[in-house]
Amino acid sequence: GNSVTQMEGPVTLSEEAFLTINCTYTATGYPSLFWYVQYPGEGLQLLLKATKADDKGSNKGFEATYRKETTSFHLEKGSVQVSDSAVYFCALREYGNKLVFGAGTILRVKS
């Protein structure tokens, strides 16, 4: 079946550091890909998405590019803030709009 693999966390960075969270997927065809973010005590929020190869999703300074040749959708941000501390989930879409999530990566940003 389809699956998503994310780098294990926690990832701990200082404020203004560069962030990369790796995400690779296994799927039949070319599914839409997503990054969701979960702040403490809250539900998940859609951060960005890409629906086809070479698409770049971006939002709030975060970016991810759909790379079909490497089946990857790595999340990047040039300068993280303390307020970015959260759990980040990579996901792909299956039939019926079912989302298959990765295990989540905890990001901690220190001031």
Q: Residues interacting with another protein, by CB under 8 A?
A: 32, 34, 36, 38, 41-46, 49, 51, 87, 89, 93, 96-101, 103-104, 106
Q: Least CB distance from residue 22 to another protein, whole Å? A: 17
What are φ and ψ of residue 52, in 5° steps?
-150, 165
Q: Least CB distance from residue 79 to another protein, whole Å? A: 25
Residue placing its CB nearer to another protein in the complex, 18 or 39: 39
Report d(CA 23, CA 41) in Å as an integer. 24
Report d(CA 34, CA 57) in Å as an integer. 9
Q: Least CB distance from residue 23 to another protein, whole Å? A: 14
Do 30 and 52 touch, CB atoms closer than 8 A?
A: yes
